[in-house]
A and B are shown apart, each in its own frame.
Chain A
Amino acid sequence: MRPGISTKLQPLLHHHASLPNSAGASRRDFLVRCGGGFGAVALTGLLSRAARSESLKPFNQTTVIDSVNPLLARHPHFAPRAKRVIFLFMYGGPSHVDTFDYKPTLLEQNGEPVPESFKQQATGDGAVATIEHCKDELFASPWRFSQHGQSGLWVSDLFPHLARRVDDLCLIKSLHCDSSNHAPATFQMNTGAVLDGKPSMGAWITYGLGTLNENLPGYVLLFDVGGYGGAGNWGSAFLSGAFQGTRFRDRGVPVLNLTPPEQFAHVQRSTIDFIQKLNLKHRITRPELLDLDARIASYELAYRMQTSALNVGDLGDEPSHVLESYGINNQDQTMASYGRKCLMARRLVERGVRFVQVYNGIDGYGWDAHGGGKLAIDKNHAAVARQTDQPIAALLADLKQRGLLDETLVVWAGEFGRTPMMQGDKGRNHSPMGFTVWLAGGGVKSGFPYGTTDDIGLMAEKNPVSVSQLHATILTALGLNPDQLFFEHNGRPERLTGVAGSAKPVMDLFA
């Protein structure tokens, strides 16, 4: 590391609220003058207005994240194609050869041994483990594939609803990742690194762009079980905790501690006012510490969140045909639950939340169809597809109908795909070497396939895309330069796309 760079990046260290900085000196002086003593007006409006004018600059090397309101909207580096992201995380690893990647060869050679040429091609730890843990037997998809829409993209019968929206999808059929184990691959898809301990994509994006609604967190998660590896997948690691994912629930009160205990309900506002009164007096003699301003501001946000977050969770104001379309009234409770999450995702992005992540699954398996009983591919994938297909199709249609799809990038991805070889009884193993994910909306091409796997669907062949390139593409859609979005940590400029900063976006995916 060159010392020169280190010095240049130094201002970024200020982003942590615990490190006092001098950037707000004039604002503080002003507040000291006008906010002195009791009887002062609530100053949070003033604070956020003053801070807002400072924040309307693109994120760059001298950006100082405002400690009073770290989530204030910041300009992207260049004109964005998308303003927000809905990430539909398909944990467990959905099979590409049973969903979007049609392989006639598998049908022709069903039950035959894997040709030697494919075995030799597959190198690396993940590849060897993947092949060794399978039978030497190609396994054709139990589902029929057909072409849909004007684009004529292939979709299997697993996704009857999504097949009707295929003209909205931008399929990346040549993604590859670096691990064939759930937790590392899940970490990689969410944080860019196979090891735990890096900030998640949602944290990076809210760090770079802030959020568009000051009454809600910038990064919201919806899940029942969450992915393998747990909170490391939505944490903020060395970035400020303000950027980490906040979990909303799809039933009842969406956030913990949102409603005051009954004994305080009728005095909540006057109690908060009184706290602020004491806090304003306290801060006069401690003008240096911006944390104190931040705490004062946080009580106002907390008060507003009590209403705004509750409101997000109240699906009662949605017309019945919308509830119906998302499957929320369906007898299948797993579909109803996933439908509520998808509908809440729309309600959240509609209100300006920057990054929403929805996990499938009500058990610990997700798409993890290793074979045998309910984990045979025909049982497991049929169940998870049924749970997610209609709600996801409804989400795309709903976003489009409201004019939100143009500025919302929808990402559908698991941690890896599944092998074209059989594992156990009608199962498939994890396959990291080539699988399908899709994007929709947010300025990407629609009805567009990109890249291919080989004839049996084992390895990415044409135009392979790495996870870092996928991340670089998502950042680029949001107007962020992946190389310029960094945080100086332990002497290295950390990025979502890695310290080397060499991952390039796939520009062919953009319309």
Chain B
Amino acid sequence: MPALLWQLARFDLIAIRQLINQPLVATPNDFGYSGTKPTHPDLLDWLAVEFMHPNNGTRPWSIKHMQRSIVLSAVYRQGQGEVPAPGQDAPLPSGTTAASPLTESSLQNTSTDPDNRLIGRRLPQRLDAETLRDAMLSVAGSLQLSDHGSPVWPHISDTAKGINPKVLNADAGDGLSGWYTTMPNEKSNVRSLFTIQKRSLKLPMLALFDQPDANRSCARRFNTTVAPQALLLLNSEFAAETANRFANRVAREAGVEPADRVDTAFRTALARLPDEEERKVCLQLLQTHTVRHTRENIAAPDLAALIDLCRVLMNTNEFLYVD
């Protein structure tokens, strides 16, 4: 058993936590005496053995094989076990199907296993920092999927650089101590995975959404929910630019009909169509904001209102939390 600990830990971290957001051992850094016991010891054993000796003949130590096994499992495909509000049926947005039917057992799970330690259902999971940035760029249609080879320096404002003024002031010409934004800007819209990780200055967006310190190993990420995150998604240059691009994309793809715009915006950001009620209030928002922008003499007030709607969608809990 001790010989397997390392593999077990890897599994706990890489596969299970990333994909199911529920560790099989609550203390992934500590499999020893003072750590907590695994919730599914047999499963951990099976995963470790499967990692070393895959039973379908793929090559051993293949993380991809393990990830595939997990996402094809029944556990991964569970629904969250939606609980109807008292006196209501569990509402489902039109145009979608429930991830899984509400079963009696999943309802029981919410009371007998509130922390879902036995993974009897799936809880919504917040996008981690990198994925959130990627998702925003993707929705805006500006994500560069090409491989750029060397790491990319995204644009950050001077105010953000001021978090570490040494970066602002340093330009020793050594290509190391300053911040060397990749030009043109669009080129830096790569997946966060390919962005530079500077130890002395994290990308403000990633730092704020709990990207761990790159100086240390991190067994498990913790999500925080703080007001500066909301300020960033509402007010930052990045958020504004993303909303503008997203709206222009929607206008391009959906044409001028407001209802089509609402549908396209929902489908792009949330991968579903709005229900009747949502469509109605979104159309109202477009209308009232168009009026307000007109009153402020803003050019293309209907596009400005669409930008507002796109900004809203990227700030919703539904955008940040995947069911």
- Seen from chain A, the residues whose Cβ lies within 8 Å of a Cβ on chain B are 1, 3, 6, 13, 16-22, 25, 29, 32-33, 36-38, 67, 196-197, 217, 224-226, 230-232, 235, 240-242, 246-247, 249, 253, 255-261, 263-264, 266-268, 270-272, 274-275, 277-279, 281-289, 291-292, 294-296, 298-299, 301-302, 305-306, 364, 490-492
Contacts and interface: CB of A to CB of B under 8 A. Distances in A.
B82 A285 contact: yes
B163 A302 contact: no
Contacts of A364: 166
9 contacts: A21-B115, A22-B114, A36-B88, A241-B226, A278-B312, A285-B90, A288-B80, A490-B29, A490-B35
A240 B222 contact: yes
A278 B318 contact: yes
A29 B85 CA distance: 8
Nearest to A299: B230
A18 B128 CA distance: 12
Contact of B86 (A29, A241, A306): A29
A263 B304 contact: yes
B243 to A, nearest CB: 9
B27 interface: yes
Given A67-B225, A263-B307, A271-B312, A282 B317 contact: yes
A136 B277 CA distance: 83
A263 B126 contact: no
Interface in B99-149: 110, 114-116, 123-124, 126
B237 A261 contact: yes
A11 to B, nearest CB: 12
Contacts of A241: 210, 222, 224, 226
A277 B124 contact: no
Given A274-B281, A286-B124, 13 more contacts: A6-B34, A16-B223, A21-B114, A21-B115, A226-B164, A242-B226, A264-B240, A267-B289, A286-B321, A289-B123, A305-B227, A490-B35, A491-B35
Contacts of A277: 281
A282 B316 contact: yes
The 8 closest A-B pairs by CB, nearest first: A491-B34, A241-B224, A302-B230, A294-B225, A22-B114, A301-B227, A18-B223, A257-B235
Contacts of B91: 284-285
A197 B216 contact: yes
Contact of A255 (B110, B115, B231): B231
B38 to A, nearest CB: 15
Interface in B268-323: 277-278, 281, 285, 288-289, 292-293, 296, 298, 304, 307-308, 311-312, 315-318, 320-321, 323
Interface size class of B (residues with CB under 8 A): 35 or more
A288 B316 contact: no
B227 A20 contact: no
A286 B231 contact: no
Contacts of B164: 226, 230
Contacts of A263: 240, 298, 304, 307
A306 B236 CA distance: 13
Nearest to B21: A18
B231 A305 contact: yes
Nearest to A6: B34
B318 A282 contact: yes
A281 B229 CA distance: 21
B271 to A, nearest CB: 14
Contacts of B226: 241-242, 298
A151 B9 CA distance: 61
Contacts of A272: 234
A16 B231 CA distance: 21
A257 B124 contact: no
A32 B231 contact: no
Contacts of B196: none
A268 B234 contact: yes
B284 to A, nearest CB: 9
B228 interface: yes
Contacts of B308: 264, 267, 271
B34 A302 contact: no
A12 to B, nearest CB: 13
A38 B276 CA distance: 12
Interface string B202-229: 0010000010010110000111111111
Contact of A279 (B32, B240, B316): B316
B30 A279 contact: no
Interface in B224-267: 224-232, 234-237, 240
Nearest to A16: B222
B162 interface: yes
B224 A283 contact: no
A500 to B, nearest CB: 16
A47 to B, nearest CB: 13
A292 B234 CA distance: 17
Contacts of A6: 34
B86 A33 contact: yes
A18 B23 CA distance: 12
Contacts of A268: 234
Contact of A20 (B123, B222, B321): B123
B75 interface: no
Contact of B231 (A266, A287, A306, A490): A306
Given A263-B240, A263-B304, A278-B278, A288 B227 contact: no
